[in-house]
Amino acid sequence: AEIVKRLNGICAQVLPYLSQEHQQQVLGAIERAKQVTAPELNSIIRQQLQAHQLSQLQALALPLTPLPVGLQPPSLPAVSAGTGLLSLSALGSQAHLSKE
């Protein structure tokens, strides 16, 4: 609640310096933000976390430089779909607990 009060104060201070078009955009965004519920926010955070983790895994799987002929890329340990999902859900739970 304290963070919301502070951010609202900052927006109120900055708003007069914006153009009319940007003021309308900011006011619209503030109104939309007021309607977001805690479960919706947790869902969005979980989706963002999973997307970030997926992009990190994909970056690890792609070699950055071409390998010399005959050299094989290092292999990652095998992870089943079940253990991968459990890992993601555990991290999501940790993020949820840290928010509370």
Residue 21 has pLDDT above 50, yes or no: yes
The confidence score (pLDDT) of residue 59 equals 80
**Letter for the amino acid at 57?**
L
Mean pLDDT to the nearest integer, 4-33: 93
**Letter for the amino acid at 86?**
L
Q: What is the DSSP letter of 65?
A: S
Q: What tokens were used for 39?
A: 């479960």
Mean pLDDT to the nearest integer, 19-45: 92
Greater model confidence, 28 or 1: 28
Question: How far apart (Å, rounded) are the C-alpha atoms in residues 62 and 43?
Answer: 29
Greater model confidence, 71 or 43: 43
